[in-house]
Amino acid sequence: MLLAIETSCDETAVCLFDEQSIERGDMRTALRYDVVSSQVALHQPYGGVVPELAAREHVRNLPVLVNEALQSVGITTADISAIGVTRGPGLKGSLLVGLCFAKSFALASNIPLIPVHHIEGHIFAGNLSDTPPIYPFLALVVSGGHTMLVLCESYRRYRLVASTRDDAAGEAFDKTATLLGLPYPGGPQLSRAAERGNASAFSFPIGVAGDSKSFSFSGLKTAVQRQVQQLGASMQEPQVRDDLAASVQSAIVQALVRKVSDACRVHSPRALLLTGGVAANALLRQSLADEAAKLGIPFAVPAARWCTDNAAMIAVLAYHQLQENREAFESWTPHAGFLGPGVSTDLGAVAKWPLPCI
């Protein structure tokens, strides 16, 4: 049984993954416990994640969740073969809580530790979709901190096709939602308001034309700000706000879809994967599914709960890392200075950690 821990931002997530019960290669059948404890209510009054509060909440939640995980599955620490934990990127304090907990747990129980990359975890969440993508595939990773188009050439071999020059797609959702006076968390709130709005009511800039390597959302933010100022008191009318939300959402989604579509034509991938928190957005899911169908490329997207931050994706990635080094893990015995094969006890959290690309 693999224990996976994710605390890179404001969600405390814990997963127990039983590799012996994987059925027909479907990773979802191995999930014995998979819980995300949200801190939305804690950060709501501040209009965004307060890093210090997030870290403190992880300190409180994590031991409780791990204990609950073991109890509900009916196992003890002796049944855990490895611990997968997010090492970065993310909020330093939040990462430190998860990492320190995992290191202590590993050290106290002589269990090997597998530190993993959060963004790579989002890519491995593709294994939790109905139709896991086949290499080489193109992955659109859209979260609160990242917007990347990655060509996944083969197992853990990545080529960066495009990334954002300024704001991430999730940030664009969150910041424009704030401009519209919508409560935190902006992305889901804006997409809910957009359901009632008319997407053609306002016209907003759609990314950067002609530059296939960059996404850009700062121009959109400025345009929304100007529009809100112009609208003045009419911003109080719910329909105006909903129309704005729908128009903003449409501009963000179109910018993403266009770039993905161009990249599909250039790289001819065998599949397209949509992943990361923004992949929970219904319009983006539908628009990319339609585009992939038009291009004749199989489309994969995990269920919304595995698009936003979760520990199941960390478990799946740790499981693959374990498989990759099976012999090293099986012959590994705890010794001074090490927490697992190649993992030194001085392992630190990495707040800024680009996805290792070739």
Q: Closer to Zn ion at the Cβ: 116 or 339?
A: 116
- Minimum CB–partner distance for residue 187 and ligand KG4 (Å): 2
- Name the amino acid, one letter, at 179: L
Longest dimension (CA), the chain: 69
Residue-wise DSSP of 169-183: HHHHHHHHHHHTTPP
- Minimum CB–partner distance for residue 75 and ligand KG4 (Å): 28
Q: What is the DSSP secondary structure assignment for residue 232, as one 8-state letter? A: G
HEC per residue, 75-107: CCHHHCCEEEEEEECCCHHHHHHHHHHHHHHHH
143 lies in the binding site for Zn ion (CB under 5 A): yes
The region that residue 181 occupies, defined by phi over 0 for left and psi between -120 and 50 for alpha, beta otherwise, is left
Q: Closer to ligand KG4 at the Cβ: 98 or 276?
A: 276
Q: Count residues near ligand KG4 (CB under 6 A).
A: 19
Q: Which stretch binds ligand KG4 (CB under 6 A): 137-145, 237-245, 315-323, 337-345?
A: 137-145
Q: Closer to Zn ion at the Cβ: 220 or 311?
A: 311
- Minimum CB–partner distance for residue 171 and Zn ion (Å): 12
Near ligand KG4 in 242-281, by CB under 6 A: 276-278, 280-281
Q: Closer to Zn ion at the Cβ: 241 or 285?
A: 285
Token output for 358: 């070739």
Rg for the chain (alpha carbons), in Å?
21
Q: Which of 205, 119, 118 is nearest to 166 (CA)?
A: 205
Q: Closer to ligand KG4 at the Cβ: 32 or 43?
A: 43
89 lies in the binding site for ligand KG4 (CB under 6 A): no
7 lies in the binding site for Zn ion (CB under 5 A): no
Partner touching 332 among ligand KG4, Zn ion, none, CB below 5 to 8 Å by kind? none
Burial per residue of 332-358, b for 16 or more beta-carbon CB atoms within 10 angstroms, e otherwise? beeeeebbbbebeeebebbeebebeee
Q: Rounded to the nearest 10 degrees, how much is the dihedral formed by the CA atoms of 81, 83, 84, 87?
A: -150
Partner touching 145 among Zn ion, ligand KG4, none, CB below 5 to 8 Å by kind? ligand KG4
6 lies in the binding site for ligand KG4 (CB under 6 A): no
Helices (H) and strands (E) in the chain, counts: 11, 13
Q: Closer to Zn ion at the Cβ: 143 or 164?
A: 143
Query: Which residues of this chain interact with ligand KG4, rule CB under 6 A?
Result: 9, 143-145, 170, 173-174, 185-188, 191, 276-278, 280-281, 308-309
Query: Which residues of this chain interact with Zn ion, rule CB under 5 A?
Result: 143, 309
